[in-house]
Structure 1
C-alpha cells in the first residue's frame, strides 16, 4: 500500500471516529432529551451537564476525549510517519467539529482536543488541560477556559515540543476551536454567557 493511500485511509478512519457524538449517545443511553434541543444546543459535555445528569456529562466528556486519544495512539502504534500522525490528529478533531453523522453540525472540540494533545504531545496536553482547569475554577465559564487554553496551547507546543514537532497541528486546532467559540465570545463580552453547572432553560 502506498504511503499516500495509507495516509488517506488513516485520516478517513480518524474522521469517522471523531464524527461519533458521545453527547447524542449519552442522551439515548440515559434516556434524556437530545442535547441539541436545550441549553446552548451544543452536543458536548458542558451542555449535557446542564440537564443535571452528571453521569451523562461524564460519559460524554470521557467518550469525546478518548476518541481523540485512541485515534492518535493507534496511528503511533502502527508506526505511521509523524506527518501522518499529525494529519490523523487533525482528522479526528475535525470529525468532532463537523461530523458526517450529524449533518456536519458537531461540538466545539474541547474534550476531543484534550484527548488528542495528551496522546500527541503529553506535556503540551497536560499544560493545556491545567490551563483549562485553572481558568474554569476561577471564572466558572467553560467557554472562557477553552478559549484561554486554546490560545496558550501553541505556545506550550513551541516550549515543550519544539518548532519541528506538532506545533502546526496544535495551532490549526487552536484556531478552529476559538472560531467555534465565536458566539460564546460575544456572550462573554455581553455578560450573557452561562456558567458551569447552570441548568437548562425551559
Structure 2
C-alpha cells in the first residue's frame, strides 16, 4: 500500500462533520452526567435523545431531543451564528406540542479536519465550540425551502448549561426564548 493511499480520508467530509458533532455532544453529555441515545429511525429530525436522572418539582428523569449540525469555518465572530435549516427540520424543531423539548446544536469546527482536535498526553481539546437554540414557537415560514436561524453566542453548549436545561425541563419550565447560562439558572 502506498503512503498516498494512507492519506486519503476514510469517509467524506460531511460524514466526518456528523461524527465530530456527535463526539462533541457525547463529551458534553458525559461530563454533565447525562445519558445519550439515538433514535433508530430519524423521522422527526431528532439526532439525539439526552436524558438525566434529575428530580424536578414537576417531572423526574427529563429528556431533551436534539438536532445536531456541524459548520466548518473559523471560531465564531459577532453576537450570533447564522445557520440555514431545511424547512422540514425548522418545522420539527419549532413544534410546540412535542412532549420533550427540542433544541438545535451547531458545532463550529475548523475548516480542515486535522485541526479539529489537539491531543497530547495532558489533554484532548475539541475545536471550536457548540451553540444551542430552542426554536419552539417560532413562526411558520410558508412557501420556503429553508430558514436561516441565529444562535446567540451566549448560548454555548456546555455541561453546566445542559444540567441547567435538564433542571428547567424537570421543573416544567420552557427552554424557548432562553439565551445564555444566566437565564438557565
Instruction: State the TM-score, normalizing by the size of structure 2.
Output: 0.29
Q: Which has the larger radius of gyration?
A: 2
| Higher helix proportion | 1
Instruction: State the TM-score, normalizing by the size of structure 1.
Output: 0.27
| Higher strand proportion | 2
